[in-house]
Amino acid sequence: MNFELLPLRSANTAYPPCDVMLVPVTPAFTPDRSPLSNVIDQALQQGLLPTDPGSLHDICRPAGTPCQRLVLVRAGLPTQFAEIRQAINAAVTLVKPSKPKHVVLTFLQTPTPTTLRVALTALADASYVYTTTKTKQDPRSIQRVTVFVPDCAPLADAFEHSVAVISGVELAKEWANRPPNFATPSHLAQAATDLAQSPFITCDVLGPKDVARLGMGAFMAVARGSAEPLRLIVLHYHRAPKNTAPVVLVGKGITFDSGGICLKPAADMDEMKFDMSGAASVLGVFKALADLTPTLHVVGIIPTCENLPGGRAIKPGDVVTSMSGQTIEVLNTDAEGRLILCDALTYAQGFKPRAVIDIATLTGACVIALGAVRSAFFSRDAALATALLQASETSQDLCWPMPLDDEYAEGLKSNFADTANVAGRPAGAITAAKFLQKFAGQCPWAHLDIAGTAWKTGPAKGATGRPVGLLLDYLLSLKGTERS
């Protein structure tokens, strides 16, 4: 989609011809002398637009406007972001079957930057269509979105940022939605290599021999059961002073997770193609960085492989040696994400980073704890935790802090290795984070468990692209604060 931001200069603004005009109507609406205002005022006086957020009034060829269709949608106050998202989603869902190509989104009052972002990302999400592996393709019809606001100046940066987030989110969705035979580790490596065509981005792809030389025994153990070769993808975005310490993003890239020898139930196992959503989010962040070109240094590390049963597959009770030198007793082969991440976290320390954030669909326990609304995050670094929580609010890609008390690590003790890879069912999301903490080193580190937020299930099954928005807001909050 192409996006354009234009000023709503006066009551007599000349709107371009369009297929659909969407107008959020808030409690702050006051009528003026414009034809559009008159239409809204009449609808309100006649009770045609109920006060419930998301309520719609659909008008064909309204008088005085050049649109084929005008949709008035009830929205809440500017800070009621869930209601704004609900309103835009309802409006786009209504008009989507008519296949509009040009949509005008008109704000009668200047929205806040976050309101604008929520509205645009909701419009993109509601109109998104996956087509890659369909023979009868019915792609997204909307090609152009024109946004009118009373005052463009305070929203220019937020608009550019929103468009970049949408671009990154949709790349993340594309790769997470692809079937596992269309999104193998080699495919992900090619996607990362394609990103390196953009200025300021470079990409290195390491294969099995390279990973073996690095001593990544935990990562290699997970990949053993699959015929697909593993890949370690290393992306660099560098547009900062030469010696600037990077932020490192580590994305879990299990392109299909059968559970290995600890085989998962067949029901819904197809959704384990989404187990590389952390990796997809890193790709999405780099796409957004390429669009915005901020002054930052960011490294993306993606350990990627399949987790399958087979004659060479890792077994419960096996002991593997990680890149850090720590030995790990594998008590559950379905807790494989932490095994590939632990080696990637050790590798990340070689960049002498200012911070490391890993992103993973790691535990079902996190889904039970927080559902699909907020991702969980874990960090003992106060500044990093505060920055992530703030980015969560500005992006409305929400997360929630979780504890890392040392007592939670008691269950990881092993009689046969330095640590076990699981600690039983209680507090499973926390004990998984405690395992990763053993490999995070001394730099500021955070772990994002996105198991509940990375995809939707049921009739709306598909990737969400989260937490691209959260990560991008965090990174941009650092712009201008680089240190070597």
Catalytically annotated residues: 264, 338
To 10 degrees, the CA torsion angle through 436, 440, 442, 444?
-90
Q: Do 455 and 277 meet the contact criterion of CB atoms below 8 Å apart?
A: yes
Burial degree of 189 (CB within 10 A; 0-12, 13-18, 19+): buried
